[in-house]
Amino acid sequence: MNLFDKFTTFIADKEPLLAIKPEIFGTPIEKMYSPTEASIGGRRILLAGTNNYLGLTFAPECLAAAHQAIDEEGTGTTGSRMANGNYTGHRELEREFAEFYGCKHAVVFSTGYQANLGTISGLAGAADVLLIDAHCHASIYDGCRLSGAEIIRFRHNDTTDLEKRLRRLGDRTGSTLVIVEGIYSMLGDQAPLSAMVEVKKSYGAYMLIDEAHSLGVLGKTGQGLVEAAGVTNNVDFITGTFSKSLGSIGGYCVSNHRELDIMRYLSRPYIFTASPSPSNIASARAALRLLKDGEHLRKRLWENANRLYSCMQEQGYRLGPQVGPVISAQLETTEQALALWTALIERGIYVNLIFPPAAPHDKPLVRCSLSAAHTPEQIEYLCSTFTDLASLARPLSQ
């Protein structure tokens, strides 16, 4: 055996794809013009795969806050939150997140990935059970593995299966953490949260929800699915990221349990990672204020999502079960997905190309994520282009 033997299969499968230009994995963006337009391959491209749901990456308030923070506090903290990286802004943002959700405690992490990694591994241990939705994000799976707890998956969005697995745990439910997401990042579907909360309460379990793709998108004030479902006070831990609706880098967890604050001293990803830079924190604070008062942004985002979803559905694209800002066309083969993605790029549209195992059901995806910053004209161009290319997405049996 050789250290590199495990790469042989990957190279054989992916090398032809790695040679494609523009690159389909980590497509180089040469210049940003706005939240919805950039230069790729020397051409002006419409961006429809950025997760920039509220379009705040160029908001004047966020830019000004970031500039001021760089001028006053420098480019980075050069230390972890447990050492010299615990600036006033980090604590203020934690206070503002706690206030935003009406919770007693909040912790800010360096990335959204680490929010899940650090929270889950800090809360759970070898004697505990983590009961997770099968479609949960990689950061959740990795946090579960790092914790050393027993990991049990339940069928995606299946409340009956969740209840069955809790019932089988017997008196262990008191040390069980149920983990779900608000909006799932690949197909854009939402957890049946109200029903799941009732189930976890009936068995005395705890619940964590990752609102990464639903923060700013759902709820009157943009809290996410917890607010839309009216269960904010019945979910034990809420995590999320700054890198979608807040247009920055970082992550958070909020809770009414004092143990979240104690977790700072137990969570290795929190203890041993440099804290977010002052500019990231400052822009996230500005964006959180805009998000909270951003009903007009959510209204525009959902208008855009409803328009594109209905158009693609009418054209026969196989989409996720719910309309939302994540709209994914499910294809049958790598070749079919690549043909559609390439045709979109040729027409000046960038979307995400997702292959298994990241794509559920072992089917590749061409994934769009819409923004409140997309204009009606841009949405209509997306609709007309997907209409023109609908034949590329038809089932091969037709």
Helix 278-292 and helix 88-101: axis angle, to 10°? 20
**Rounded CA gap, 94 and 264, in Å?**
13
60-292 has the same fold as 7-54+295-393 = no
Partners of residue 43 on adjacent β-strands: 40
Q: Which residues contact 15 (CB under 8 A, 6 or more apart)?
A: none
Quick: pLDDT tens for 27-76: 899 999 999 999 999 999 999 999 999 999 999 999 999 999 999 999 99
Quick: pLDDT tens for 111-158: 999 999 999 999 999 999 999 999 999 999 999 999 999 999 999 999
% of the chain exceeding 70 in pLDDT: 99
Mean pLDDT of 220-231: 98
Which of 24-28, 273-277, 315-319, 352-356 comes out lowest in average pLDDT?
24-28
* Ramachandran angles phi, psi of 96, nearest 5°: -70, -35
The class (CATH top level) of 60-292 is alpha beta
Select which of 121, 139, 147, 185 is catalytic: 185
Question: Is 244 annotated as catalytic?
Answer: yes
Report the chain's mean pLDDT, rounded to a whole number: 96
**How many other CB atoms are found less than 10 A from the CB of residue 79?**
14
Mean pLDDT of 18-28: 80
**How many other CB atoms are found less than 10 A from the CB of residue 161?**
15
Select which of 90, 105, 135, 244 is catalytic: 244
**Rounded CA gap, 138 and 237, in Å?**
18
Fold annotation for 7-54+295-393: Aspartate Aminotransferase, domain 1 (3.90.1150)
Select which of 90, 213, 363, 374 is catalytic: 213
Write down the pTM of the prediction: 0.95
Quick: pLDDT tens for 244-291: 999 999 999 999 999 999 999 999 999 999 999 999 999 999 999 999
Q: Where are the domains of the chain?
A: 7-54+295-393, 60-292
Question: Is 391 annotated as catalytic?
Answer: no
Question: Is 363 annotated as catalytic?
Answer: no
